Amino acid sequence: MTDSEALHPLRPFLKNWVWEHGHVGTRYLDCIDGEVKFDDGKKARFAAEKIFYVSLRKDAGDAAHTAGPAIHEGGLARFLHAAQHGKPEDAGSVADVQRAVQDCVELGLVCAYQQEAQSALARYALEPMFDDEIRAEVIKDIRRTYVGRREQLALYDFTVFHSLPTPLLINEAPFIDWRVRAQPPQLFVSLPLGPYCLLVGTPSGKKARAGPVLWKPVATMGPFKDHNRHMVEAARLWLVATTEDQLVAVQSRFAPVTPDKQEAAKS
């Protein structure tokens, strides 16, 4: 297994999108070539982009940025499995669930800043700087934007909405801040945990610890009806679904421009 396979932040989440009936694997749309593909097995090898990790702890030292996120893998896996099946009783203790939710937020933010990190790396690479100087500047840039945001999210109230009626899509950066993305803005953030469950955080007004995580079954998509549209619009590398039909429906958005299409556009 390569480092990218072992360390990709979304690997625990993508297990909930694995098709386990007959041919085991994951259906995804390759946003680079516009093809719908099937990844055999449960490892989601398509999620192999290089990750630039920055610790968002306020007091993080240099070593924290190379160590990677400190995730409780067993607790996170138990929580994600319980969310997908709508069984809060299987998720662990109150403290375990709170820890798992914070791990989800941590991993969601890692994915959220990747595009900014890669852009900054490319920008600083044009300057007369050593590699370690470039890395230090990128870390500063990311922390300037995200440390305060991470502290705010640590005090949010979180709810697991499960048993959704419509299967969710997930892309390489699935954390949505609906205050920024939605029109009109809505005061919550979200992260898909599986095709039928969504983690939603709302400002709590608290200045100390956040409250216990709530669990709610939902019969309609309600305020989350645009989730899949946001996933499609933000996808740059890959898009995962439970059915091929979901991917085929948006495939034309990612299909590469062929000479025939160029000529048609001119005429």
Kindly report whether the peptide bond that precedes residue 165 is cis, defined as omega within 30 degrees of 0. Answer: no
The candidate with the shortest Cα–Cα distance to 151, out of 203, 116, 75, 98, is 203
Give the confidence band of 157 by pLDDT, cuts at 50, 70, 90.
very high
pLDDT at 238: 98
Q: What six digits make up the tokens of 136?
A: 């230090």
| Burial bucket for residue 250 (CB in 10 Å: 0-12, 13-18, 19+) | buried
pLDDT in tens, 7-27: 689 999 999 999 987 789 999
Which stretches does DSSP call E strand in 163-242? 170-171, 176-177, 189-194, 197-202, 214-217, 238-241
Angstrom CA distances, 84 to 18, 89, 163, 194, 210, stand at 12, 12, 8, 6, 23
- 177: which strand partners? 189
pLDDT digits (tens, 9 = 90+) for 179-235: 888 788 899 999 999 999 999 999 987 777 778 999 999 999 999 999 999 999 999
